Amino acid sequence: MHVDANIGGSVDGTAGADLEVLASQVTAAERVGFDGVWSTEVSRDPFLPLMIAADRSRTLRLGTAVAVAFARSPMTMATVANDLNTFSRGRFVLGLGSQIQAHIQRRFGMPWSGPAERMREYIEALRAIWQCWYTGEKLDFRGAHYQHTLMTPMFSPQPNQFGPPRVVVAAVGPQMTTVAAEVADGLLVHGFTTARYLREVTMPLIDTGLKASGRTRAEFTTTYPGLVATGEDEKSLVAAIRRVRDQIAFYGATPAYRKVLDLHGWGDLHLELHRLSRRGQWKDMAALVDDDVLHTIAVVGDPTEVGGDIARRFGGLVDRFTLYTPYPLSEATVAALVSAIKAA
């Protein structure tokens, strides 16, 4: 199991706006033993931090987790992804997410339709564009949502030895998971997921989708950003647990993630969290996340305990594990955690 980190965004508790901070994050990721870094599209652009990473590291795999697909045309996405894969010498992974209707329409001002089928077409359009660039084949993609029929030599990048990047898709529900398994190179599991949900819901869908596309699990990468609550002492562990409870409560209030709670018989928890969120009572929500819910969704304990638990829960289920820690951790604690995961 490869272990990855987040850089550049706000998910890991860092602002990431300073170039020196970004550079130090990349250097630290290599130093503590991470295999890759992911950049998020939350309050910052997901691609720019990875240019810093590509320049500062020659070994780390680089990826977006995620770039919002429907906020950009396939041509725009194909161009920046191809550039990053070239600049990183084949180490870039394009992680795509759909976002939700309100954000696509009201924040990005872009059209919305059934996200699973639109994502399928989006990836097919990316492949068609890259096929044109790398083989010289005429660009003639005509879909229900996207049409790309013009490419002249001036606007066509020169082929390079690394080729286009791998494409992975973020998914929770069955339709998007199926799309990922049928047309993408991998799946980005949402952090609000349990080992049981992966085993009983996600993996059977992946197996069916891969069979339909004539591929095997060896050709498909599953990445999971798992929520972790840990610390170097009791005080920091208590603070970490508090932040993780807040994060679980936030996700648990979202209807799109209710199926995870339903599987465990916690549908009523979603209803109450959703009710409180609509009233703006965010501070009251974490108290509803009891220890059973906390320890099922997150991995909790000191770094050595957490490392072994991650390996036991997710070994054989996922190929890459990203530490999802919505609070700051010392480099020594992260290094101990990464070492414990790899040792386990």
CATH code, domain carrying 162: 3.20.20.30
Q: Give the N- to C-terminal CA distance of the chain in Å, as an integer.
A: 10
Residue 272 lies in a domain: no
Residue 331 lies in a domain: yes
Beta partners for 187?
169, 222
Tally of domains within the chain: 1
CB 85, CB 164: distance < 8 Å = yes
Give the range of the structural domain holding residue 114, as residue numbers without chain letter. 2-228+302-343
CA R_g for the chain: 20
Phi, psi of 148 (to 5 degrees): -130, 105
Residue 81 lies in a domain: yes
Would you state the structure tokens that stand for residue 112, as one six-digit string?
Answer: 């919305």
What is the Cα–Cα distance from 71 to 154, expressed in whole angstroms? 25
Residue 297 lies in a domain: no
Residue with token string 């480099």: 331
Residue 67 lies in a domain: yes
CB 176, CB 116: distance < 8 Å = yes
Residue 265 lies in a domain: no
Can you say whether the dihedral through the CA atoms of 125, 127, 130, 135 is positive or negative? negative
Beta partners for 224?
321
Would you state the structure tokens that stand for residue 238, as one six-digit string?
Answer: 């208590």
The pLDDT profile of the chain, 344 residues, written as one tens digit per residue, is 999 999 875 434 445 568 888 899 999 999 999 999 999 998 889 999 999 999 999 999 999 999 999 999 999 999 999 999 999 999 999 999 999 899 999 999 999 999 999 999 999 999 999 999 999 999 999 999 999 999 999 999 999 999 999 999 999 889 999 999 999 999 999 999 999 999 999 999 999 999 999 999 999 999 999 999 999 999 999 999 999 999 999 999 999 899 999 999 999 999 999 999 999 999 999 999 999 999 999 999 999 899 999 999 999 999 999 999 999 999 999 999 999 999 98
Beta partners for 168?
95, 186
pTM for the full model? Answer: 0.93
